[in-house]
Amino acid sequence: MAETVPNTVLALDDLTVRFHLRRGDLTAVDGVSFAIERGQTFGLVGESGSGKSVTAKAIMRLIPDPPGEIPRGRILFEGSNILDKSNAEMRGLRGRHIAMVFQEPMSALNPVFTVCDQISDALRTNLGLSKAEARERVVELLSLVGIPSPHKRLDSYVHEFSGGMRQRVMLAMALSCNPGFLIADEPTTALDVTIQATILELITGMIERLGMSLLFITHNLGVVAHACDRVGVMYASHIVELGDKKEIFAHPQHPYTVGLLHSIPRLDGQAKYLTPISGSVCNMMEPPAGCKFHPRCAHAMDVCRREIPKLKEIAPGHLAACHLHDRGAA
């Protein structure tokens, strides 16, 4: 589906990721397709367990096999399929072309190496810098991401930084080898709201300044509203809605997106009662047949229980996977 026009950096086509666990098989990502344009920030939003992080790991080819498996789909990065690449080719891609920022810098950074050691290792491997050059570059990077007096913090360990500073270090590491494409997996979730604001500002600023493309994964619709250009909404391993940020917020089409937007309490204090989505997320080991959302959907019809809806264009650039729109289209 996703056309690989030259302006597309990354395109996912029918990506499916399955895990073979002791308790049974779990399809964490099911037929996900979307494309990210150059210089664009794509927000992938969904609740916990929806498969957004697995998608990110699949792009980085970090799904452990076993128990993971990618039975279907393509991940086209700059036009070539990541899944066909050899390990060596993949290593060349990682760090230099695609990099990733994780949610918990405390666990995503190695606890027994200093910050300088870790970042300069990447620099020396990818860019072939000498030890001294790498060290100098680390200082530059740290000051770039706003760590005060970086030459003093160079030889500190991760646990010696505060939460916000850790995420800056993580970002410095990801940016170290000038990748053109960044994946940020819930980079602000573990942070307090004031720190979240600064990190968000930092990431969006960096992306703009360095002309990068960004895949931003989050569960926070507020963050999406301000950091992204295009948005994909995931529910239970499927993308249920895809479109421009403004479209999605102004005219949400999928009942899940609508429900999500109605579930958020507002700062201006309107609405004494929220209209939440009823029930809870389905068990991914035994998902319901048909649309995964139908047990929670107020508009569920017979067809929803039988058939998995496909993503369909409703308005230009705005897609939703819901049988309600079949009727409208028909």
Q: Which of residues 232-251 bind other proteins (CB under 8 A)?
A: 245-246, 249
| Per-residue mark of binding to other proteins, 279-308 (x: CB under 8 A) | -xx---------------------------
Instruction: State both tokens at 161.
Output: 């930084």
Instruction: State both tokens at 4.
Output: 């690989």
Least Å distance, CB 40 to other proteins, is 15
Q: Which helix (H) or strand (E) holds 319?
A: strand 318-320
When the beta carbons of 12 and 223 are compared against other proteins, the nearer one is 223
- Per DSSP, helices labelled H in 48-130 are 52-59, 87-93, 105-108, 115-127
Number of residues binding to other proteins, judged by CB under 8 A: 84
Helix then strand count (H, E) for the chain reads: 13, 12
Question: Any contact of residue 44 with other proteins (CB under 8 A)?
Answer: no
Judged by CB under 8 A, the stretch of 5-13, 33-41, 131-139, 157-165 that binds other proteins is 157-165
Question: Any contact of residue 102 with other proteins (CB under 8 A)?
Answer: yes
Sign of the C-alpha dihedral, residues 52, 57, 61, 64? negative
Interacting residues with other proteins between 194 and 223 (CB under 8 A): 194-198, 200-201, 219-223
Q: Which of 9, 29, 75, 122 binds other proteins (CB under 8 A)?
A: 122
Q: Establish how many alpha carbons lie within 13 A of residue 263's alpha carbon, considering only the half-sphere containing its beta carbon.
A: 14
Judged by CB under 8 A, the stretch of 5-13, 27-35, 265-273, 314-322 that binds other proteins is 265-273
Instruction: State both tokens at 220.
Output: 């926070």
Least Å distance, CB 7 to other proteins, is 23
Least Å distance, CB 132 to other proteins, is 20
Q: Which helix (H) or strand (E) holds 227?
A: helix 221-227
Longest dimension (CA), the chain: 67
Helix (H, G, I), strand (E, B) or coil at 307: coil
Question: Any contact of residue 86 with other proteins (CB under 8 A)?
Answer: no
Helical packing angle, 131-144 and 115-127, nearest 10°: 120
Least Å distance, CB 5 to other proteins, is 26
